[in-house]
Every structure is written in C-alpha cells, then in structure tokens.
Amino acid sequence: MTETRLDKPHVTIAPDGSLDHAEIECGCFLGEDEMPAPLPFNEAMAKIKNWVRANSLNIIAYGTGCGAIEMRPLGTSRFDMERIGITMAPTSRQSNVLVVSGYLSVKTLKRVIRAYEQMPMPKWTVGLGSCTIDGGMYWDSYNTVKQVDRYLPLDIYIAGCMPRPEALIAGFKELMEKIKRGEANGWNEYLQNLDTYKANQRKVITDWGMPAYNW
C-alpha cells in the first residue's frame, strides 16, 4: 500500500470505459512501473494514515447470510466492538469495511457488488464463515457461490460455521494489523484486475441489470 498511496491527481480511464477527470486520491489505476518513486515524507504519511485507518473501521450494516447473526452480539454490550474502534455505518458511502457474513446467493451477490463498489476507497472486506471460503455446507447448493474471492477481493477470512464473536474480534484485530502493515490491498487489486472480476461476476449473474461499475 505504501507505494500506491502517493497523493497525486490523475486523469485516467474509468472502469466503465469513459474518460474520468475526477481527481482520484490514489494512483490505483497505475501499473507498477508507472508509480512515481516514494518520497520519505510520503512514506511517513502513509504509515500515519494506515494507523489512523486501522483504528476507524466502519462496517456497513448489511448481512448476507446466517453469519450476520454473530455481528449483533459483537456490536452490543457483551463483546462491544466499539471499544476496539469498530462501529457500524448505515450506508455504503459512510463505511469502509464490508463483512460478507456467511453464504452468498447469486441474488445477494448482485447487491453486495453494488454496495462494495459504492464504498469510498480505501475499503476492506472480511469473509465470515466457511461458506465464503469454499461454499461450506452449501457446497452443492444451486444458488450459492462457492468462492467469494472470485467475485470480490477478501482481505481476511474467519473460518467457522459460524465463528463466535471472539473469533470475529481476533479476525478484525488481524485485519487492523494488516492495514497498519499496508498489506490489506484488496480494493486496489480489485481495480487492477477489474476485467477478471467482472468476467467472473457476469458468468454467474446472467441478468446484470446495473451499471458496469457502480460509482
């Protein structure tokens, strides 16, 4: 992340093909060789930014499957995720963490893609439960996607069916450490490999019915 966090406005091609003159904060559409050399000041700033970001996670209040039931005790008084700096946000524009909580049906995948693409960058995703890893107990279900990371980049997986709130806290702590180290770059990989992700998404979503990219 440290290399890509150089603040410089770019005129670049938007994922839907049109020329985008908006000032994008980071050089997320640049290839590795196009990156300007990192300056010491920028590196230090990136570290500070990462530290701040790791301690202010806003989860979008959206549950995809049964695993969402474990988010409620996590948010309320017994486990209380606000004491470690995680809180819930009502809309995708106000949040930066998406928790894919449990199995993901094709119909839900569409809504999750919309929510994820509308979230401001940088953003992170957490796969909750075994279903997000390889389908779990829904391995032979006709309407459930098996590998969620073919359609969305996932930064952390929390295994279990379902994981307890303690496991979720451990997972979020790990995500925070990853953000501080600057390794949680799923959002950046998503934009760099957008064609692959979009092709995979269109393979299962036969009636697309939404913009190519939901800004």
Partner 1 sequence: MEKIVNELESRFGLLSHREQRADLGEVCIRAEKTVNVLEWLKNHTGYVHLTHFSVVDWLEENEFQLTYLVTDPDAHHTLMVSARIDREKAEAESIHALWPEAVTYEQEFNEMYGIAFPGSPRQGVEFLLEGWNAMPPMRRDFDTVEYCNETYEFRPGRVHVDPKEVRMKFQAEQKRLAEEQKQREEATANSNEPEPQP
Note the residues at the interface with partner 1 (CB under 8 A). 106-107, 110, 133-135, 139-143, 145-147, 150, 203-207
Q: How far is the CB of 198 from partner 1 (least distance, A)?
A: 16
Nearest Cα to Cα of residue 113 among 163, 70, 150, 68: 150
Nearer to partner 1, 70 or 149 (CB): 149
Collect all residues with Cβ–Cβ distance below 8 Å to 31 and sequence separation of at least 6.
192
Q: How far is the CB of 81 from partner 1 (least distance, A)?
A: 29
Q: State how far the Cα of 27 lies from the Cα of 36, in Å rounded to an integer.
A: 10
Burial of 209 (0-12, 13-18, 19+ CB in 10 A): exposed
Is there a contact between 180 and 170 (Cβ–Cβ < 8 Å)?
no
Q: How far is the CB of 210 from partner 1 (least distance, A)?
A: 11
Nearer to partner 1, 117 or 149 (CB): 149
Q: How far is the CB of 89 from partner 1 (least distance, A)?
A: 27
Q: State how far the Cα of 179 lies from the Cα of 97, in Å rounded to an integer.
A: 12
Nearer to partner 1, 42 or 108 (CB): 108
Nearer to partner 1, 148 or 175 (CB): 148
Nearer to partner 1, 48 or 210 (CB): 210
Q: How far is the CB of 212 from partner 1 (least distance, A)?
A: 17
Instruction: Report the sign of the C-alpha dihedral through residues 62, 4, 49, 11, in that order.
Output: negative
